[in-house]
Amino acid sequence: MFVVESYQLAVLMCVVTMLCWGSWANTQKLASQEWRFQLFYWDYSLGVLLLTLLFAVTLGSLGSSGRTFAQDLSQASATYIGYALLGGVVFNVANILLVAAIDIAGMAVAFPVGIGLALVIGVITTYWANPEGNPVILFVGVACVAAAIVVDALAYRRLPSGGTKTTLKGIVLSVLCGILMGQFFQFVTRSMPGKLDALSAPENVGRLTPYTALVFFALGLFLSNFIFNVFVMRKPFAGEPVALSDYFTKGNLRLHLIGILGGAIWGVGMSFSIIAGDKAGYAISYGLGQGATMVAALWGVFIWREFRTAPPGTNRLLGLMFVLFAVGLALIVYANAPTSGVVSG
């Protein structure tokens, strides 16, 4: 299987993760002009599963390092498979809340509040389970991101709203998303060894390679859709209920491909984050990947123009939000850089 050997490559892969995680929701914005987000989400989850399977039989099965995907499946323990599946289930609930929040409040709000909060929670829980990097620098970076979330919420409050109830609903969904989104990554990392060079150690018997863990994560996401997405179709956060038959009668090839593309883009980001985490440290790879918040906010502000009706002075708040995110992400990267004098655990 392919294994990352350098910290620089690991950081580059995390930057790709950031771009993917911050950009996939554009496919939802495109599709939502023609059909409901619940219908888009079926194709999205299928796209994640197909992408992880593709990586498993290519990157996860080539080369001389570690085990192939097939070999890993044959020795996998039900306990560690369960952790990866649980990560997919938790992520799925969080992500459904996220796409609902995007539908109600827009990318420039849902991502900074939801994913920004997930970054804070995720880095803390992942570092607790796998302490790597300089904790002072790491958590100062996290504090900057937390401040950016507050600033974004203040900017959002300045927007004219169709009603206080709608405004509050968008923020509440984003917060709930962030709380859950900050938990899923730790379950996936628990299914794998702390370091891949110790994959064959006795204490790691039954644990999964990153590629196998990603497949089971995606499977948990896809299968739990039949519970959570069906529920949201029947009891939507906004609008009328959505019939499952609409997926077949109102969709076309272009709409289905847009959804699958969105899932594949997110899946590339997730895969790169997990693969790079072995070298960069999972707290750093997750934290940098969640710089997607800034990327999505850029899309929301400048491409979709979600703050075009905001009063004067709002741009200063948005500018401050971007600065705080950028500083926070730089500190998160530096926290585990080889030049910082930190010896990785």
Render pLDDT for 179-193 as a digit per residue (tens, 0 to 9).
Answer: 998 889 889 999 999
Q: Kindly state the average pLDDT of the residues 34-60.
A: 96
What is the predicted pLDDT for the residue at 167?
Answer: 62
Confidence of residue 129 (pLDDT cuts 50, 70, 90): confident
Q: How far apart are CA 49 and CA 222, in angstroms?
A: 7
Render pLDDT for 56-86 as a digit per residue (tens, 0 to 9).
Answer: 999 999 888 889 999 999 999 999 999 999 9
pTM of the model: 0.83
Mean pLDDT, all residues of the chain: 87
Q: What percent of the chain has pLDDT over 90?
A: 48
- The 3-state secondary structure of the chain reads CCCCCCHHHHHHHHHHHHHHHHHCHHHHHHHCCCCCHHHHHHHHHHHHHHHHHHHHHCCCCCCCCCCCHHHHHHHCCHHHHHHHHHHHHHHHHHHHHHHHHHHHHCHHHHHHHHHHHHHHHHHHHHHHHCCCCCHHHHHHHHHHHHHHHHHHHHHHHCCCCCCHHHHHHHHHHHHHHHHHHHHHHHHHHHCCCCCHHHCCCHHHCCCCCHHHHHHHHHHHHHHHHHHHHHHHHHCCCCCCCCCCCHHHHCCCHHHHHHHHHHHHHHHHHHHHHHHHHHHHCHHHHHHHHCCHHHHHHHHHHHHCCCCCCCCCCHHHHHHHHHHHHHHHHHHHHHCCCHHHCCCCC
Q: Kindly state the average pLDDT of the residues 278-291.
A: 81
**How far are the Cα atoms of 3, 5, 78, 85, 241 from residue 207, in angstroms, in the given order?**
16, 21, 9, 13, 42
What is the predicted pLDDT for the residue at 159?
Answer: 72
Confidence of residue 332 (pLDDT cuts 50, 70, 90): confident
What is the predicted pLDDT for the residue at 319?
Answer: 92
Taking CA 330 as the corner, what is the angle to CA 329 and CA 336, rounded to the nearest 5 degrees?
A: 100
Confidence of residue 244 (pLDDT cuts 50, 70, 90): very high
Confidence of residue 343 (pLDDT cuts 50, 70, 90): very low
